[in-house]
Amino acid sequence: MLTITLKPGKEKSLLRRHPWIFASAIDRVEGKPEEKAKSGSTAVVQSSSGQFLARAAFSPKSQIRARVWSFDQNEPIDHALIKRRIRNALSYRTSSVRDTDAIRLIFGEADGFPGLVVDWYAGKQGTLVCQFQSAGVEAWKVPIVQALISETGCPNVYERSDASVREREGLPLVTGVLAGDEPGTEIHVVENGVHYAVDIKHGHKTGFYIDQRDNRRLVMEQAAGREVLNCFCYTGGFSLAALKGGAASVLSIDSSADALETGKRNMALNDFAPSLAEWRDADVFKTLRALREQGRTFDLVVLDPPKFASSPDHVERAARAYKDINLLGMQLLREGGLLFTYSCSGAISADLFQKIVAGAVNDARVDARIVRRLSAGIDHPMTTSFPEGEYLKGLMLQKP
């Protein structure tokens, strides 16, 4: 049996049920050499005085040296636990998620699977797309896939474990079919009445930013008759939602030509007149400045950039980038206009984000009202003991 003994005092975060054990907190790891070498072995974690704290997945190469499976001494880590947790995750989504067939089924720590993401597209005939991002879930991949299939009734499972966080766990980047059919280049989903094409194999992450569903809906509800600017549009999530809500026009900007092509196909899927939308393959920072110089203005602006701060070390630089685009976004807004602005950097708290945006508004020499605080959808819960799970935050502002 693999046993991890913590340094004195280092049990505190575990007693608060935080699920990560950093290498620096560990005094010693004891067990057979093959258990110690094996990535993903289950270990008992104990305090320096020998008190049981948790069972956790051991990750010999990662700074996060172990991730907790269970704080309950009587709960074995086995196939039944995996099945039970997948069933719970599914039952929560079934009862809470509405008006879509693009659902985050498993969201890591919040669903009891540290480092696992499973997005389910297009129902039973569709595909489950998985990202295994830690040693523990990697070691249990086969039973996890079996349980996903048996609980959902969807036989097609595709792996997109190609995010660089895998390397920090000492795991290779892999993609490919785990079960069932090879997915086509495009799967179609319908979210709040809007049709979207999702490229599971080549798209970002698992293919679609499911987390922005509620925010796309909010934009849909506010878009009627408005001229919309959608920055960092990817495949046009917010653009299509705005058009569904009756937007007068949408200018969408992204630096990925492939994503823009999908965005244009989404126009056709929804029978929207191509003339309502302009898709610009360009850098947002430069384009916002150019639009300002041209004197262009909009009634509704969306800023949904990629993660600017990938770690706490990058917060300052990221803050400058967020401030820059928000300042420009505010300046491009007409009186009475709405700005929807987001950050998906886990290292930037909702509080800090609001301060950055407030600074941008101030520098733009305008007034702005916070109408709503925004977050990820209901299928992206976070546990109270793991605030790191709250990565997406946003604000809806109005220029009076």
Q: What is the smallest separation between the CB atom of 237 and ligand SAH, expressed in angstroms?
A: 3
The rounded distance, in Å, linking the Cα atoms of 102 and 219 is 18
Q: Which is nearer to ligand SAH, 149 or 325 (CB)?
A: 325
Strand, coil or helix: 104: strand
The minimum distance between CB 244 and ligand SAH, in angstroms, equals 14
Structure tokens at 80: 């039944």
- Residue least distant from ligand SAH (Cβ): 237
Q: Which is nearer to ligand SAH, 227 or 254 (CB)?
A: 254
Taking each continuous run of H as one helix and of E as one strand, the counts in the chain are 12, 20
Contact 136, 114 (CB under 8 A): yes
Q: Where do contacts with ligand SAH occur on this chain (CB under 6 A)?
A: 209, 212, 232-235, 237-238, 253-256, 259, 283-285, 304-306
| Sign (positive or negative) of CA dihedral 292, 255, 352, 390 | positive
**Which DSSP category does 100 fall into?**
B
Catalytic residue among 130, 154, 231, 344: 344
Give the residue among 58, 67, 57, 135 at the shortest CA–CA distance from 388. 67
Known catalytic residue: 344?
A: yes
CB of 234 to ligand SAH, least distance (A): 4
Instruction: Give residue for tokens 């949408």.
Output: 250
Min CB(133)–ligand SAH separation in Å: 18
Shortest Å distance, C-beta 232 to ligand SAH: 3
> Residues near 26 by Cβ (< 8 Å), separated by ≥ 6?
4, 5, 6, 7, 10, 65
- Name the phi and psi angles at 122, rounded to 5: 65, 35
Q: What are phi and psi of 274, to 5 degrees?
A: -55, -30
Is the Cβ of residue 196 or residue 386 nearer to ligand SAH in the bound state? 196
Residue 264: CB atoms within 10 Å:
15
Q: Chain-centre distance of CA 348, in angstroms? A: 14
With CA atoms as reference, report the closest residue to 253 among 228, 286, 230.
Answer: 230
Per DSSP, the residues of 234-301 read: TTTHHHHHHHHTT-SEEEEEES-HHHHHHHHHHHHHTT--GGGEEEEES-HHHHHHHHHHTT--EEEE
Active-site residues, by number, are 344
